[in-house]
Amino acid sequence: MAPEVNEIKTAHHLYAVEMIDITKRFPGVLANDRVTLRVKAGEIHAIVGENGAGKSTLMNQLYGLYHPDSGEIRIFGEQKRFHGPRDAIRAGIGMVHQHFMLVDTLTVAENVVLGSEPVKGLNFDLNRAREEVRKLSEAYGLYVDIDAKIEDIPVGMQQRVEIIKTLYRGANIIILDEPTAVLTPQEVEELFEIMRNLKKSGKTILFISHKLNEVMEISDRITVMRGGRVTAELITKETNEREIARAMVGRDVVLKLDKPPHKAKDVVLEVRNLWVKDNRHLNAVRGVSFQVRAGEVVGIAGVAGNGQTELVEAITGLRKVENGEIIFLGKNVAGAHPRQLREMGMSHIAEDRLKYALIKPFPAYYNAILGRHYKTPFASGAFLNHREIKRFTAELMEEFDVRPRIIEHLGGNFSGGNQQKLVVGREIKAHPKFMVVAQPTRGLDVGAIEFIHRQILRMREQDVAILLISMELEEIFSLSDRILVMYEGQIMGEVRPEETTVEEVGLMMAGKRLEEIRGGKK
């Protein structure tokens, strides 16, 4: 019988992570329902599933943030009970969260060592910290600017800092919760290269994504979740996107959007020679001009960090305008307060929903009225009208399929995708004349993306003027009537989606002007 015992043992070591029969309940929600996940050592294991399927919850338990109500966790065959992330880290687990957890005002090196700082005598040894960060960064091709402050570096780099941080703490098993949601296609490729390097050096990676093409490209095996349960375990080489999607949503998904022709009407928003500075007081938007008409979608494409964020913040009243005009409904509103703009009929789906669009400790029914909380029917005089607020929230959650359908659920307790649906619903239901839509489908599952896209087109048909900012070229192409490409704070050219190619837009995104490209062809 001895050989068999031996076999069992090696079989155990085959798996870096085993989560067996995990159940986790939140008030009113069964987030994980007897979930079993097995991850082989040294593989890249993808976890996919709709918004709210329970992916983050499952990972948070593996990382010791939540405790399973029942079930068992084994790491390399050894049963573990984590009382907090510290225990998980000690067991060699690292996690990069869906929403980063870095300290904005500290440098890259300081952030990496935070919590386990090297010391010299009684003092923090910055030089050693920098040296160790540099070594890790070189070993895995994780390029970072060691002395830059977090608030000054792009998201892609922030993410690399998070990964270095897990490595610094000795992680063998790295959880990446929707790492690609915030990245440009270029950055995604870089991330995949890093993941391959990590895999080569024997690390095990758990990878969550809504993008099936990414999952097909990078993973070895896939676990599919739906409604808190595991619905399929697939080997990437032996499956296809269609099969995964079916396991995810329980039906076939058709991702075909038809955009009926629609005539643009009067100019609603006009930006004239706009200049805006970023947090470092450098010019981020440098002399941008364009118009958005009622009933059209104007898409702004561009690699992240080329002034789109600052442009949006200036238009929506959140950032100071240095120079130029923003004419909204015939009135110069440069420097106007967001309330004034909202009063005039502007809506804004913010790119960074946790920073701007959502108040985490507020229940859904307070988040659902942000921006209109002082107006009828949500207020009568100085008092909030709770009955109407709650009725409206229930309606919104039904209409935009925000799950769980609990109006008292706190904003911060919804899954990423459901937070976004709540925000999108709120901004659409304000019945705007003009809507700024920034990264509307970041972190959303295929079904939800389709839904939001349809909503945007419906708004267009109702003659709302829409400014869409997105890093997803596909999204820009399928929704926009006109596409503007931004590079280093300037507009490289304007094209119509049916008259251009992804290549042409790509060239503009890299800094070539349209005239140069088209002129060069002749």
Residues that bind ligand ATP (CB under 6 A): 26, 29, 31, 49, 51-57, 98, 403-404, 413-418
Residue placing its CB nearer to Mg ion in the complex, 56 or 166: 56
Burial class (CB in 10 A: 0-12, 13-18, 19+), 8: exposed
Residue 329 binding another protein, by CB under 8 A: no
Question: Which residue of 56, 223, 239, 470 would you call a contact of Mg ion, by CB under 5 A?
Answer: 56
Nearest distance from C-beta of residue 71 to another protein, angstroms: 12
Residue 470 binding Mg ion, by CB under 5 A: no
Structure tokens that stand for 61 in this block = 């338990």
Count of residues in the chain: 522
The C-alpha atoms of residue 359 and residue 384 are separated, in whole angstroms, by 17
Query: Under a CB-based contact definition with an 8 Å cutoff, are residues 261 and 250 in contact?
Result: no
Q: Give the relative orientation of helices 416-428 and 446-461 as an angle to the nearest 10 degrees.
A: 10
Residue 51 binding Mg ion, by CB under 5 A: no
The closest of 240, 103, 247 to 162, measured between CA atoms, is 103
Site for another protein in 336-355 (CB under 8 A): 337-343, 348, 350, 355
Nearest distance from C-beta of residue 257 to Mg ion, angstroms: 25
Nearest distance from C-beta of residue 221 to another protein, angstroms: 30
Residue 379 binding another protein, by CB under 8 A: yes
Site mask, Mg ion, residues 388-417, x = CB under 5 A? ---------------------------xx-
Nearest distance from C-beta of residue 51 to ligand ATP, angstroms: 3
Nearest distance from C-beta of residue 384 to ligand ATP, angstroms: 24
Pair type for strands 119-120 and 123-124: antiparallel
Q: Any idea what DSSP says for residue 410?
A: B
Nearest distance from C-beta of residue 18 to another protein, angstroms: 19
Report the chain's terminal Cα–Cα distance, integer Å: 79
Report the partner that residue 414 touches, choosing among Mg ion, another protein, ligand ATP, none (CB closer than 5 to 8 A by kind).
Answer: ligand ATP
Amino acid at residue number 36: T
Residue 140 binding another protein, by CB under 8 A: no
Residue 490: helix, strand or coil by DSSP? strand
The C-alpha atoms of residue 407 and residue 269 are separated, in whole angstroms, by 35
Residue 180 binding Mg ion, by CB under 5 A: no
Per DSSP, helices labelled H in 114-240 are 126-139, 155-168, 185-200, 212-218
Report the partner that residue 350 touches, choosing among ligand ATP, another protein, Mg ion, none (CB closer than 5 to 8 A by kind).
Answer: another protein
Structure tokens that stand for 314 in this block = 């200036």
Report the partner that residue 192 touches, choosing among Mg ion, ligand ATP, another protein, none (CB closer than 5 to 8 A by kind).
Answer: none
Question: Which residue of 13, 86, 360, 518 would you call a contact of another protein, by CB under 8 A?
Answer: 360
HSE (side-chain half, CA atoms, 13 Å) at 472: 21
The C-alpha atoms of residue 456 and residue 491 are separated, in whole angstroms, by 24
Residue placing its CB nearer to ligand ATP in the complex, 302 or 363: 363
Residue placing its CB nearer to another protein in the complex, 299 or 371: 371
Q: What is the dihedral of CA 416, 418, 419, 420, to 10 degrees?
A: 90
Nearest distance from C-beta of residue 420 to Mg ion, angstroms: 11
Residue 373 binding another protein, by CB under 8 A: yes
**CA separation, residue 398 to residues 115, 188, 406, 410 (Å):** 43, 34, 10, 17
Interacting residues with another protein (CB under 8 A):
67, 83, 316, 318, 337-343, 348, 350, 355-362, 366, 370-371, 373-374, 379, 382-384, 386
